[in-house]
Amino acid sequence: MSAIIRCENLVKSYPADTRPVSAVANVNLVVEREDFLVILGHSGSGKTTLLSLIGGLTAPDSGTVLVDGVENWQQGDQALSVMRNSRIGFIFQFASLIPTLTVMENILLPLSFSQRPAGSRDLAEEILAQVGLADKAGSLPAQLSGGQQRRIAIARAFINCPDIILADEPTGDLDEETERDILQLFRRYNKNGVTFIVVTHNSELAASQERARVLMMRQGVLTEQDGEAGVAHA
Amino acid sequence: MAKRGIEKQLNILDYALSSLWRRRTKNLSILLVFSAVIFLVASFLMVSKALSDRAGQLLVAAPEITVQRMSAGRQEAIPLAHGERLQGIFGIRRVVPRVWGYYFDEVTGANFTVLGVDPLQMPGGDGLATALARGRLPEEGEAGMVVVGQGVVETLALENRQLFSLFRPDLSLKTLTVSGEFAKETGIMTADLLLMHPAEARDLFLIAPGFATDLCISVANSREIETIARKIAELLPDCRVLTRPQIQKTYQVVFGWRSGFASICLLSAVAAFIILAWDKASGLAPEERREIAILKVLGWETADVLAVRFWEACLVSGLAFLLGMLSAFAHVLFFSAFLFRPILLGWSVLAPGLSLVPALALGDFLLLAAFTVLPYLAATVIPAWRSATVPADSALGG
């Protein structure tokens, strides 16, 4: 298998009152195609920042992120947007739906600027059924529970048939049964070739996936589960 | 490639329209306030331009030079003999004495303008008949005949009668007969006018024979007006000499002062709106910032976000501009600019019942657009640009 994502010497810090806070400290990471990578860590350990760096949402202070050999921040805004739109599905820590759009409109939003395939609405309905909310297509987010909103956000992440899913605490608001269904859905997509990078503090999530690879993040440093820092490689 | 680009722009427009619809209450409020501001400013500009144009057209028929006798800084009756002295100045075509004054009617509280002049002696006076809605001009020797403006007709209720009486200064009554009425279109100049022969006007004001209030002078070459006026002033040092260009300028100044005063008030309203729009738009609401971040995370480019905001602002401001301009046009054309007439025409008891043709100079049109649409576009797009250029990961939270 070939590396789909490669992070080299990745550093990111945020300004603070006295001195900058290091969110990601010299992270090296290689993710193979069809990997299911789980990054465990407590709140504030830098997991979300690492996802932002990989997804091209924020620029690193130093180091590089390569997706299929192309360095994220050497591309222009347009190419980066196209990459985010066509190759990556994001699942945010919070549902992040647009409150004034219906469920269906939210799900179809990533397809606004791509050449929308003829059956995209059918696909959206199918994914909506997969997350168990087939009857909510016309509802507004405010009419749904937190868990339901989370499932809509998950459905939206799959609508553009991405190669990579970046998920931040994807099962945070879900009850046990729904969590099980969603993890099964992840497993199915993963078997079909989608690469997953999931950050969570839920260690059971890794156990639910057949071929999950688990890494730990502490104070911006990424380590293998055995505690060795540096290059995390499958 | 081009098809893709068009499809993308259509998607952006579609999103902008649906975004406007989703926030319809807020956008409708902005649209209404914006339209009202444009309506006020545009109708004001239109009516002041229309009045100024109308006054300019009517003043074309005014005497080229008017001579009035002054004593102790006040106007006095001028001897007709002064007119005979002027005949010697080369370039003067005709000198016509005129009796011009005001008559205050205590019963109605109205002030009439009385003009005693032989219309046939005035240059272009025969054309005065075309300013009449009905009847004819008084002929020489016809005692007590008068042509009245529409304001006089309404004030003195002359619709169904032709005879009326006015008091002389000694309180004796002078009876007049209406021989004609001026048309409404000339109302700005004739609404309060009583036009009669000089002898009748002298009789009404008890001015001695051989005197007039002023002398109207026409010249052979209009380019010589100023030169001839100077010669008259030298020949008649006790007289004030007014030229038509001076009178036109005075009218423009009066309209200009009034419209300038009101413009300042209205531009303050525009400024307040711009500040409000800027304040509203510069502090994007958290949910709007979040929406921009989500769109960027989902693959929208900064330019796409800006395009959406641009289209939204264009639609709101364009529609508001159109609505404001159309209502201003209707306000001036169909309702005779009733909101601004008192400001621009004064609070005369006999407000002229003229119909106005809306007019707006291209410069004013562009200025209005520049002061309303452009600031709104800027107030909407710039904050969106600021939000769209910060890293979009804020939407991820945590």
Q: Give yes or no for a contact between A81 and A110, defined as CB atoms under 8 angstroms apart.
A: no
Q: Does the beta-carbon distance from A90 to B396 stay under 8 Å?
A: yes
* pLDDT over 50 (residue B398): no
Angle, helix B24-59 to helix B302-333, in steps of 10 degrees: 40
Where do we find the tokens 């590396």? Answer: A3
Write the residue in B15, B298, B397 that is nearest to A110 by C-beta. B298
Closest-approach residue (CA) in chain B for A167: B396
Separation of alpha carbons B365 and A123, rounded Å: 51
Residue A169 phi, psi (nearest 5): 45, 60
pLDDT of residue A77: 79
Write the residue in A52, A77, A115 that is nearest to B396 by C-beta. A52
The distance between the two most distant Cα atoms of chain A, rounded to a whole number of Å, is 55
Q: Does the beta-carbon distance from A84 to B302 stay under 8 Å?
A: no
pLDDT of residue B304: 83
Please tell me the distance in Å from A188's CA to the nearest CA on chain B: 23
Write the residue in B8, B287, B297 that is nearest to A84 by C-beta. B297
pLDDT tens digits for A138-197? 999 999 988 888 889 999 999 988 999 999 888 877 788 888 888 888 888 998 889 999
Separation of alpha carbons A166 and A186, rounded Å: 12
pLDDT of residue B13: 84
pLDDT of residue A205: 77
pLDDT of residue B351: 47
pLDDT tens digits for B210-250? 999 999 998 888 888 899 999 999 999 999 999 888 877 77
Closest-approach residue (CA) in chain B for A81: B299
Query: Considering only the top CATH level, what class is A3-96+160-232?
Result: alpha beta
Please tell me the distance in Å from A53's CA to the nearest CA on chain B: 9
State mean pLDDT over B355-368. Answer: 75
What residues of chain A, 97 to 116, have a C-beta less than 8 Å from chain B?
97-101, 105, 109-110, 112-115
A92 touches chain B (CB under 8 A): yes
Which among B232, B220, B273 has a CA at the least distance from the CA of B379? B273
Write the residue in A59, A84, A93 that is nearest to B398 by C-beta. A93
State mean pLDDT over A47-67. Answer: 90
Give A115's contacts in chain B (Cβ within 8 Å).
Answer: 4, 7
Q: Give yes or no for a contact between B214 and B66, defined as CB atoms under 8 angstroms apart.
A: yes
Q: Give yes or no for a contact between A110 and A85, defined as CB atoms under 8 angstroms apart.
A: yes
Which among A180, A229, A213 has a CA at the least distance from the CA of A33? A213
Please tell me the distance in Å from A77's CA to the nearest CA on chain B: 6
A66 touches chain B (CB under 8 A): no
Pairing of strands B239-243, B65-71: antiparallel
State mean pLDDT over B361-373. Answer: 79
Give A43's contacts in chain B (Cβ within 8 Å).
Answer: 398
A2 touches chain B (CB under 8 A): no
pLDDT of residue A178: 82
3-state secondary structure at position B87: coil
Closest-approach residue (CA) in chain B for A43: B398
Give A96's contacts in chain B (Cβ within 8 Å).
Answer: 290, 294, 297, 395-397
Q: Best mutation site among B7, B25, B297, B308 for testing chain A: the one with the most A CBs within 10 Å?
A: B297
SS3 sequence of B152-209: HHHHCCCCCCCEEEEECCCCCEEEEEEEEEECHHHHHHHCCEEEECHHHHHHHHCCCC
Share of chain B above pLDDT 70, in %: 80
Determine the Cα angle at B270 with ends B267 and B272, to 5°: 110
* pLDDT over 80 (residue A10): yes
So where are chain B's domains? 2-57+251-396, 92-219
Q: How does residue B350 score in pLDDT terms, banded at 50, 70 and 90?
A: very low
pLDDT of residue B263: 65
Q: Does the beta-carbon distance from A113 to B294 stay under 8 Å?
A: no
So where are chain A's domains? 3-96+160-232
Q: Best mutation site among A77, A113, A165 for testing chain B: the one with the most B CBs within 10 Å?
A: A113
**Burial readout A161-198 (b: 16 or more C-beta within 10 A, e: otherwise):** ebbbbbbbbbbbbbeeebbebbbebbbebbeeebbbbb
Q: How does residue A226 score in pLDDT terms, banded at 50, 70 and 90?
A: low
- Higher-confidence position of B163 and B335: B163
Give B299's contacts in chain A (Cβ within 8 Å).
Answer: 81-86, 110, 113-114, 160
At residue A165, what is the residue type? I
Cβ contacts from A onto B, under 8 A: 92
**Burial readout A19-49 (b: 16 or more C-beta within 10 A, e: otherwise):** eeebbbbbbbbbbeebbbbbbbbeeebbbbb
Write the residue in A81, A112, A115 that is nearest to B15 by C-beta. A112
- What 8-state DSSP symbol labels residue B391? -
Which among A132, A186, A127 has a CA at the least distance from the CA of A160? A127
Q: Does the beta-carbon distance from B302 to A100 stay under 8 Å?
A: no
